[in-house]
Amino acid sequence: MEYIIGTQAVSTRDIVYRSLKDQILLLELPPGTSISEKEISLKFNVSRTPVRESFVRLAQEGLLDVYPQRGTVVSLIDSGLVEEARFMREHLERAVMREACSSFQAKHLIDLKANLDKQRLCIEDQDYKEMFMLDEEFHHLIFTGCSKKNTWEVVQQIKVHLNRSRMLKLTADHNWEHLYQQHYCLYEAIQTHDVSQGDHMMQEHMALTIADQEMLMEKYPQYYK
Mean pLDDT over 127-138 rounds to 94
**Is residue 223 within 8 Å of 24, Cβ to Cβ?**
no
What's the CA gap between 63 and 165, in Å, rounded? Answer: 13
Beta partners for 64? 74
Position 6 scores a pLDDT of: 39
Residue 130 has pLDDT above 80, yes or no: yes
**What tens digit of pLDDT does each residue of 135-176 get?**
999 999 999 999 999 999 988 888 888 999 999 999 988 889
Q: pTM of the predicted model, to two decimals?
A: 0.86
Beta partners for 45? none
What's the CA gap between 192 and 18, in Å, rounded? Answer: 39
**Would you place residue 3 in the very low, low, confident or very high pLDDT band (cuts 50, 70, 90)?**
very low
Q: What is the DSSP string of the chain?
A: -EEEETTEEEEHHHHHHHHHHHHHHTTSS-TT-EE-HHHHHHHHT--HHHHHHHHHHHHHTTSEEEETTTEEEEPPB-HHHHHHHHHHHHHHHHHHHHHHHH---HHHHHHHHHHHHHHHHHHHHT-HHHHHHHHHHHHHHHHHHTT-HHHHHHHHHT-HHHHHHHHHHHHH----HHHHHHHHHHHHHHHTT-HHHHHHHHHHHHHHHHHHHHHHHHH-GGGB-
**What tens digit of pLDDT does each residue of 169-189 get?**
999 888 899 999 999 999 999
**What tens digit of pLDDT does each residue of 45-65 get?**
999 899 999 999 999 999 999
Residue 192 has pLDDT above 70, yes or no: yes
What's the CA gap between 76 and 32, in Å, rounded? Answer: 6
